[in-house]
A and B are shown apart, each in its own frame.
Chain A
């Protein structure tokens, strides 16, 4: 699998891998630049998963502290810096909703259209980037069921088992939809890793 990890993301100015490397050496100014370049994506995604702005801030804060602490552990061979950082953030967001669920059983009356991958454009939303347009275009190429499964998993924070139950499909079908959906997105977007 070819990898070109040190290339900056297509739409980005700052060299994120370099900022991460500097952060790993304790360079707080570099970390501040890394934060400024990525915080909207990390916070917005956390907000989408946990829904509550106060909790989204906590998740993002925890994630950035972990990113600072573990910056030297970033392995460019395994993917882009942005992906690494968002993976950490997503994991924290999912941990948050699942532990909240474990302490108080989740309300099972789930409303699908509330969670489907719809793209809210609130007043606060960052100006729509070219990249966001591209991703939305790619999402539109998925089948409805793929889009729904990917959305429930990524933005809903649900396990594939839960997704299967929500969509009333066999377990194997949910994980296949998630995977097929991601593969189609990947290929449509020309993602290399």
Chain B
């Protein structure tokens, strides 16, 4: 039983951090044994709630039932969506609900369309760093496709020590918000790797040491960026999985 399988129990009780969860859900997509075990262990974990049942205040019921009148139920999924992966053709089902929801928000906001500036504000330094990573013999890439035709590919090279994200048809972030890049470092966790300029198609070098990083992520943050992620990532690129 390898390392990834052993995370089944921790996954079933939400005891994984975001990066581990993304990696494990990718594993789940291709491992029927783990899917079955996760289902049975989640079923079991749910029974623990039998021991802590507490009648909630009546006001909660009123708020919930009032709340649903303003929320449209989603249609069923047919067929179940997967986030397709570019070069690696690996099926990804991690946090599908969240990811799809986030992508849908992005896509909806993007529908208005704004001017964008392909390549225009790349400094020459950025271009040469990007070229070094993209051309490195040990470059490894992971791609994600989003609803609406947008895609993003993160390529990292341990020898160069940098990672590069290349986006295609990315809709602009919501008003007043930016896309912020992150590197997941083994000790310090999610460390900002810079804020992306608003452009549909661009190449951006991530700030920070990509050789030590376990993964890269994108979140939507208030303009100017945040010190720590304040929302769920809309995309996670696990370096350990892109070999």
Contacts and interface: CB of A to CB of B under 8 A. Distances in A.
Size band of the interface chain A makes with B: 35 or more
A124 B9 contact: no
Given A65-B64, A65-B67, A178-B10, A73 B46 contact: no
A73 B97 contact: yes
Nearest to A53: B57
Given A1-B40, A191-B47, A178 B13 contact: yes
Contact of B14 (A28, A90, A175): A90
B50 A180 contact: no
B15 A135 contact: no
A179 B4 CA distance: 12
B49 A41 contact: yes
A65 B71 contact: yes
Contacts, number: 218
Contacts of A189: 44, 47
Of B7, B8, B44, B76, the most chain A CB neighbours within 10 A belong to B44
A154 B80 CA distance: 28
Q: Is the interface of A mostly helix, strand, loop or mixed?
A: helix
A86 B68 contact: no
Contact of B71 (A68, A94, A157, A176): A68
A175 B24 CA distance: 14
Interface string B28-45: 000000011001111111
Size band of the interface chain B makes with A: 35 or more
Nearest to B45: A154
A24 B71 CA distance: 11
Interface in A22-76: 23-26, 28, 31-32, 35-36, 39-45, 47-48, 56-57, 60-61, 64-65, 68-73, 75
A80 B50 CA distance: 15
B77 to A, nearest CB: 6
A125 B53 contact: yes
B136 to A, nearest CB: 31
Given A129-B50, A129-B53, A182 B45 contact: yes
A39 B48 CA distance: 15
Given A70-B74, A90-B14, A57 B43 contact: no
A4 to B, nearest CB: 11
A99 B219 CA distance: 14
B53 A61 contact: no
A182 B44 contact: yes
B187 to A, nearest CB: 12
A38 to B, nearest CB: 9
A182 B67 contact: no
